[in-house]
Amino acid sequence: MDRPAQQGKPLRVVQWATGTIGTRSLSAVLDHPHLELAGVHVHSPQKAGRDAGELCGMDPTGITTTHRLDDVLGLGADCVLYMPRATDLDELCALLASGANVVTTAGGLHHPAGLDPAVRSRVEGACARGGTSLHDTGSSPGFITEAVPLLLASVQRRLEALTVHEYADLSQRNSPGLLFDVMGFGRAPGAVFDEHRLAHVHGSFGPSLRLVADALGLPLDSVEAQGRFATAAQTTEIAAGVLDAGTVAAQRVTLSGRREGRTLLEFNATWYCTTDLEPAWDLRPTGWRLTVDGDAPLDVDMRFPVSLEQLGAVAPGYTAHRAVNAVPAVCAAAPGIRTTVDLPLFTATLA
């Protein structure tokens, strides 16, 4: 269903999943001048049967939520904004084969060449049957690991290294389940980075590094993941609870894309709950920093200019809005898995 938005004829969009990111995406679709909400898929039966506007604090829309796949397949939508926590391949392929293009933030499909051949064949087969395209995006990975590095590389003719640094101050994040139970803050040193967690980071961000390297004609020989931590220098109270002195208070994961014996591309994510650390770390406010070592060297700082107390309300937009803004370009693309490299530089239509 390869048609761009036509003047006077908005693209019909389904919002799939209404968690933190999905709810922000739903609001953006309802406010978009060239998109029309066709339906909303929710995970649980308890959310089914409600008006879509109710889920995101907006006026009634007349669109009732459903938790049935068949209901969505029958809508004839131009695009589905697919935003569950994890991709269900059966669902995804059913949507694509039905004639609905898909923009997803679920991850795992940023670099088609690196996919399991059976998975790639199945997804591309569904795209071929439906005449549809699929694009995997978001803020990180996506915007900051693909779109921005490719833009910065566009002024280079020689590249020695490109590094993306991501910083997140979590001291005011009142999410004890996430920080303590999932991420491992407040634990004894050495109990944070196991093989499973590093494999998750590798699977989330490694495809972006390989995509960028391939686009530059400098394919990577390997992508390696490692993790480090620092502990609280003294007992510290944060919004989520108490960090005892000597427990994990900061974490850094580094993904290194290696070529010909050196690091060409690198992604560093630093999450911290206090700046009073042992050993001391060089920390920056929440945001991103990109450095380029080449014949046109660059050092770019991108900070989130909101207070930590407001960040929880603002942050979902960085991921959700990019996906919403991608919809017209994805609907206009040729069938198949379409990456950041394949699509044109799309912009936000704000009026």
Are residues 322 and 201 part of one domain? no
Q: Flag residues of the chain having pLDDT under 50.
A: 1-3, 5-6
> Is residue 108 left, alpha or beta, with left meaning phi > 0 and alpha meaning psi from -120 to 50?
left
Same domain? For 17 and 124 the reply is yes
Please choose, from the candidates 229, 214, 204, the residue with its C-alpha nearest in 3D space to the C-alpha of residue 319: 204
Nearest by Cα to 5 from 108, 59, 62, 79: 79
Are residue 127 and residue 172 in the same domain, yes or no? no
Total domains in the chain come to 2
Distance in Å from the first CA to the final CA of the chain: 25
> Residues 23, 66: one domain?
yes
pLDDT at 190: 77
Which runs of consecutive H residues, i.e. helices, occur in the chain? 20-31, 52-55, 69-73, 89-97, 117-130, 148-153, 176, 195-215, 308-314, 316-332
Q: What is the pLDDT of residue 2?
A: 46
Residue 346 covered by a domain: no
Q: What is the pLDDT of residue 1?
A: 44
Question: What is the domain range of residue 22?
Answer: 11-138+316-337
**Percent of residues in the chain assigned helix, strand, coil, to nearest 5:** 30, 30, 40
The confidence score (pLDDT) of residue 195 equals: 80
Question: Among 343, 351, 348, which residue's Cα sits nearest to residue 110?
Answer: 343
Asked whether residue 114 falls in the same domain as residue 164, the answer is: no
Provide the pLDDT for residue 324: 98
- Look-up of token digits 């510290």: 236
Residues 163 and 113 in one domain: no
pTM: 0.93
Give me the pLDDT at residue 6, please: 47
3-state secondary structure of 193: coil
Residues 147, 114, 217, 298: is their CA dihedral positive or negative? Answer: positive
Residue 186 domain-assigned?
Answer: yes
The total number of residues shown for the chain amounts to 351
Predicted confidence (pLDDT) per residue in 211-264, tens digit: 999 999 999 999 999 999 999 999 999 999 999 999 999 999 999 999 999 999
Q: Are 195 and 118 contained in the same domain?
A: no
Instruction: Report how far apart, in Å, the C-alpha atoms of 90 and of each of 99, 117, 119, 154 are.
Output: 15, 16, 11, 38
Domain presence at residue 3: no
| Residues 269 and 228 reside in one and the same domain | yes
Q: Do 188 and 127 reside in the same domain of the chain?
A: no
Same domain, 113 and 190: no
